Amino acid sequence: MTETNMAAEAARVAPRDELRHDDDPIVTDAATDVEVAVRLAAASGVDRSSRADRARWLTALADAIEAHRDELVELAGEETHLGAARLSGEVTRTATQLRFFAGVALEGSYVEATLDAPDASLTPPRADLRRILRPIGVVAVFAASNFPFAFSVLGNDTASALAAGCAVVVKAHPGHPRLSRRVAELGRAALAGAGAPASALALVDGFDAGTALVRHPLVSAVGFTGSTRGGRALFDLAAARPAPIPFYGELGSINPVVVTSAAAAADAAGIASGLAGSFTRDGGQYCTKPGLVFVPEGAGFERELATALTEAPSQALLTDGIAAAHDTGSAALVARDDVEFVFAGERIADASTPVIAAAPVVVATSAEAFVAAHEVFLEECFGPLTVLVRYADAASLAAALAVLEGSLTGTIQHAPGEDVAELTVALERVAGRVVFNGWPTGVAIAWAQHHGGSWPASTASVHSSVGATAIRRWLAPIAYQDAPASVLPPELADGNPLGIPRREDGVLISAPH
């Protein structure tokens, strides 16, 4: 079907002015909504836009959400129970991500432009070959509950997909529907003002819309941030399509921490204070929350942690479902015979909401019990809970680390000058990012960042959902052999007229300054 016919078909299915829905961008007819949104996205021409155009669009989106910061923070607070300071900071992060990917698009190395000149003397002879990464097509993005801005409608998946040249259809998270609508409205207006196609960004809502998005034949890839259970169901759906598509899910993560004996002896109180702040931050509702901490037996770490938690606040969790799952999960651990209860904070109700706040919970077990029942202890409990695993010596610690599953992060708390090479290797096996004498909560936006890990942390450990290489998910390679100059993308043209980094005849050529 041609792009003109796709647009006409979308208008026939639902003549609603390109799914603009000025009154309410989310409609109740999920199948029709998805059909219109995806077909218009596929016909939008975003994939033929220039990198400079897309950089301008992303900058306009960043400006728009910052201009409406106060309104958006208030709305997000009403729906998520997160504090104004945290939400305002997240608006800043989201704008930073958008501008960051504007810079990635302009810099151009992400397209991996590669040229090999013809050489008849080789066996077999080499033709003129030019390779580039091109936009994959329409991207479906599933918004997260715990980051209503930074991993939602205009979050990192959307920013990186638009930077790659892919139109985006976002499935709103039910935890903040009004905020999602408003951000989508602002985003579409900003894109239109910057000269982008009106259908470059669309929003749909509801369970049925989510499954319809993954199944739609014009959706080429999916980005998801959420639970292992939900992500696995959608991952299987994407794989079961007549033409399977990549599904990039960031799922559950336990984020193990190792505290060495030398580190505990040097500063148990300081490490305990850092852990207390990290695993209770915003109610423990971070994908990088340290949920499993290996500590030396007899070091007094439990006492120091309990002391550090005496002032830790309780926090109303994002949704009733998350709160119920936290209560159920923590109660099940506390009830086990091989678990020792260490600490539970006071559950204080917030006078401004009927929701009962969740309080920090700490339990402990032995390394031997952990190994014997590791399937139980490795199940993520979203919220302010962490499990201490006591090890007696290096051998028991090594045995415990050997049964770890994939995580987004792994952390080593060590003494200055201590040899932690073996621990590093053990955590490299399972973690996408290894942190030394720090805490994993807080994921910097940077070219060198990696936010992923082997299953169940993510469905594709070779890719990142944060940092410049997040754009790689929405690109596919194509090689041109003996192509006329008129059909080549400008990034592959003779003489490098766009001045991007390229590899020519095996030599990496830097962009001219």
Tokens of 11: 């208008």
Please say whether the beta carbons of 360 and 343 come within 8 A.
yes
Tokens of 158: 């959307």
Length of the chain measured in residues: 513
Q: Which of 287, 302, 304, 381 is catalytic?
A: 287
**Phi then psi dihedrals of residue 71, to 5 deg:** -60, -45
Which residues, in sequence order, are bridge partners of residue 458? Answer: 250
| 431-436 sheet: strands from edge to edge | 340-344, 361-366, 385-391, 292-296, 256-259, 407-413, 431-436
Q: Which helix (H) or strand (E) holds 209?
A: helix 207-215
Tokens of 67: 């201009």
Give the burial class of 482: count Cβ atoms within 10 A of its Cβ; 0-12 exposed, 13-18 middle, 19 or more buried.
Answer: exposed
Give the burial class of 117: count Cβ atoms within 10 A of its Cβ; 0-12 exposed, 13-18 middle, 19 or more buried.
Answer: exposed
Please say whether the beta carbons of 219 and 92 come within 8 A.
no
Q: Which of 90, 185, 250, 304 is catalytic?
A: 250
Q: CA–CA separation, 285 vs 36, rounded Å?
A: 34
Which DSSP string corresponds to 135-188? E-SEEEEEPPSS-TTTTSTTSHHHHHHHHHT--EEEE--TTSHHHHHHHHHHHH
Angle at the Cα of 425 from the Cα atoms of 258 and 416, rounded to 5 degrees: 55
Long-range contacts of 215-218 (CB under 8 A, 24+ apart): 215/241, 216/34, 216/35, 216/38, 216/140, 217/241, 217/242, 217/243, 218/38, 218/39, 218/41, 218/42, 218/137, 218/138
> Taking the alpha carbons of 286, 287, 288, 290 in that order, is the dihedral positive or negative?
positive
Instruction: Indicate the SS3 state at residue 352.
Output: coil
**Phi then psi dihedrals of residue 286, to 5 deg:** -115, 145
- Within 10 angstroms of residue 278's Cβ, the number of other Cβ atoms is 23
Tokens of 284: 């423990």
- Give 453's DSSP letter: B
Please choose, from the candidates 129, 108, 110, 107, the residue with its C-alpha nearest in 3D space to the C-alpha of residue 118. 129
166 in catalytic set: no
Placement of tokens 């290797």 in the chain: 425
250 in catalytic set: yes
Catalytic residue annotation: 250, 287
